[in-house]
Chains A and B, each alone.
Chain A
Amino acid sequence: MADQQVVAHPDAAASAEFARVPSDERIAKAAAALERNGIRPLLAATGADARGLVGSLLTDGAEVYNNTSQTLEAIGVADDIERSGRYQPLRLRLYRMDREMQAREMRTLAASPDYVVGSVHALTENGSLLIASASGSQLGPLASGAGHVILVIGAQKIVSDVATGMRRIYEYCYPLEDARARRAYGVPSGVNNILIINKVIIPGRVTAIIVSERLGF
């Protein structure tokens, strides 16, 4: 990816294609496909409903890592995890650690939380999940490190197939994420790593909450 290139906005065509909430039938089709792939699907009408579902899935006192996510911030899940006092929010523990002296401790702690809560960049009608990452730090726990994975997915992320999902990442998500990273961290983002989850072997490990609203990007 052209990492240093400033791309402020996706073009109009990409926005039109990838920011639209699909029909209920298409959402149901994706949910059924997820179930066939070993991923537990839950449907939520609104972000508020999704927030309640996440709360019901998390165990009090558990170590929870909330991935950086516009979706989680928008619906209040990030706040619930970091501020409610119900869980052990790993981001707060990592934040207080010394990057020089405790790098190993930080790596270990972030790699294997009880729960990781995040989102995806695309969900295909065949039930594949696509997640891109610049640093890659989020991908290991999603694939296998975390005990449980909870994904909150705005329905506009549903695409027809993996190839379209890849296009969604490059043409739509990346420009928006690049602009966000520059604002938040002063550095460009990049599609440096991509995880595709086609099937989950451990029953109940991954739950995907599809929200019938446009959430995140």
Chain B
Amino acid sequence: MSMFDYDARPVTPGVVLVGTRASHGAYAIRDFLSRNGYPFEWVDVDRADAVAAVLAGAGVDPSALPLCILPDGSRLPCATVEQVAAGLGMIAAPSRSEYDLMIVGAGPAGLAAAVNAASEGLRTVVMEAVAPGGQAGTTSMIENLLGFPNGISGSELATRAVVQARRFGAELLLARPLVGVSPDGLGHVAELSDGTLIRGRGVLFASGVEWRRLDVPGVDDLLGAGVYYGAGPSEALACTDSRVVVVGGGNSAGQAVVRFSRYAQQVTLLVRGRDLGASMSHYLIDQVTAIPNIEVRVRTQVVGIEADDRLRAVIVRSGDATEPAWLPVDALFICIGGAPRTDGAAGSGLVTNTAGYLVTGSEVAREPGIDWPLRREPLPLETSRPGVFAAGDVRYGSVKRCAAAIGEGSMAVALVHRRLAEVGGG
């Protein structure tokens, strides 16, 4: 018995990751571990004492970075996310030969669908490329979700939802992106990136959105080296006493600046629009404007960056100013909305709008040249292929809010039931 439960850290060994802060690959692994809730120790290769401590005095070959040491002591040189996921036992084969419902994506919409489908007895599998929680999973605090008067973090919401879905018997297949979904008789067959094939009678795309890229030269070269998309849950502590810039005007940007204000010396929010009211919830605007170390600059865009081995400054242009301004910064977080994650859907021939969002319901019939095969109209949330549904942020016309995604995911299950009754087969 210890007298000191100092910070509730796990007592068993975690993952150790050795690399350079500027490495894209190392950042991808940090982000993956962080979003999946795996404890890890980050060791910057420049810290010789720390490297010696984790490698028992041995040096490290720079060509072997990033080096990942798993809890069982095995080492993965030049580690990739896929190797780390496999090494941690996260890759599981589907347990059934066929499911009633295959759900693509484990964000709020996908997990809500999984809980509802499994609780009603549907054989349910969820396929998730990165980590449960989706875009909401990186949100530090959601304060307007019904039933959580003190707010709940996106990661905790996802953790609870995963537990709930599994308790009802839903299966989760993690860390492998979907390649595509093809028709298979009256059902469908999904293929994952590692070649795993999964058969299902119904499909729900709840694959959400990924962060839209900031179209400024050089930005993506610094990913993980001062530039991050989203609120970067693995990076918050590293921002202690630093200067942080967040780009974006939505709730994700608002939640990010509130969080970073607790750690950083100064947080600057850059908003392209005239004010925050257009896309940020009122409660967040109140918080953002009341925190003294947050500065909001509206009508402001990033037009360039200055960097050596990592980001040093962003160059911004504000309002009617003729000259750009130079803003020294340690970390830049980009939260400028989403682009639909439809990799597996687009290749499957499902109809999307010009921005790439999946078209559903009555909108399907309005698409030119659509070849809808049934006598009935598409059901609400049904895509251009019968039995394939879409819910949440990936769906054209959806409301980009966590509660709305949960509602759509839950609603989709009732529609899946109707489709399954239509095709029969038990």
Contact = CB atoms under 8 A, between A and B. Distances in A.
A106 to B, nearest CB: 7
B24 interface: no
Residue picked from A72, A93, A104, A181, most chain B C-beta under 10 Å:
A93
Interface in B386-420: none
Interface in A87-138: 88-102, 104-106, 110, 118-121, 131-135, 137-138
A132 B4 CA distance: 9
Most chain A C-beta atoms within 10 Å of own C-beta, residue among B3, B12, B152: B3
B163 interface: yes
B318 interface: no
Contacts of A106: 8
A97 B153 contact: yes
A191 B2 CA distance: 11
Contacts of B262: 100-101
Contact of A190 (B3, B9, B152, B233): B3
B167 A67 contact: no
B123 to A, nearest CB: 19
Contacts of B167: 61
A17 interface: no
A96 B6 contact: no
B319 to A, nearest CB: 32
Nearest to B39: A95
Which of the four size classes fits the interface of chain B?
20 to 34
B156 A102 contact: yes
B329 to A, nearest CB: 21
Nearest to B155: A96
Contacts of A155: none
Nearest to B162: A88
A139 B50 CA distance: 35
Contacts of B141: 101-102
B5 A98 contact: no
A95 B5 contact: no
B34 A181 contact: no
Contacts of A20: none
A12 interface: no
A67 B89 CA distance: 25
A91 B11 contact: yes
Given A79-B12, A105-B153, A96 B34 contact: yes
B310 interface: no
Chain B contact residues, majority secondary structure: loop
Interface of A: 61, 66-73, 78-79, 82-83, 85, 88-102, 104-106, 110, 118-121, 131-135, 137-138, 173-174, 177, 180-181, 184-185, 187, 189-191, 216
Contacts of B156: 93, 97, 102, 105
Contact of B2 (A68, A90, A100, A187): A68
Contacts of A83: 12, 71
B5 A135 contact: yes
B150 interface: yes
Given A88-B163, A98-B236, A100-B263, A180 B2 contact: yes
A161 to B, nearest CB: 19
Contacts of B8: 90-91, 94-95, 106, 110, 137
A104 B34 CA distance: 21
B293 interface: no
A61 B163 contact: yes
Nearest to A72: B11
A82 B5 contact: no
A101 B3 contact: no
A68 B259 contact: no
A186 B259 CA distance: 27
B159 interface: yes
A66 B140 contact: no
A137 B89 CA distance: 32
B37 A101 contact: no
A185 B259 contact: no
A73 B11 CA distance: 8
A71 B236 contact: no
Contacts of B259: 98, 100-101
Contacts of B37: 92-93, 95-96
A82 B39 CA distance: 11
A71 B1 contact: yes
Nearest to B259: A101
B10 interface: yes
A132 B39 CA distance: 28
Given A68-B2, A102-B141, A133-B5, A82 B10 contact: yes
Nearest to A61: B167
Nearest to A76: B12
Given A92-B39, A132-B3, A104 B12 contact: no
Contacts of B152: 105
A92 B11 contact: no
B6 A69 contact: no
Contact of A133 (B3, B7, B10): B3
A135 B4 contact: yes
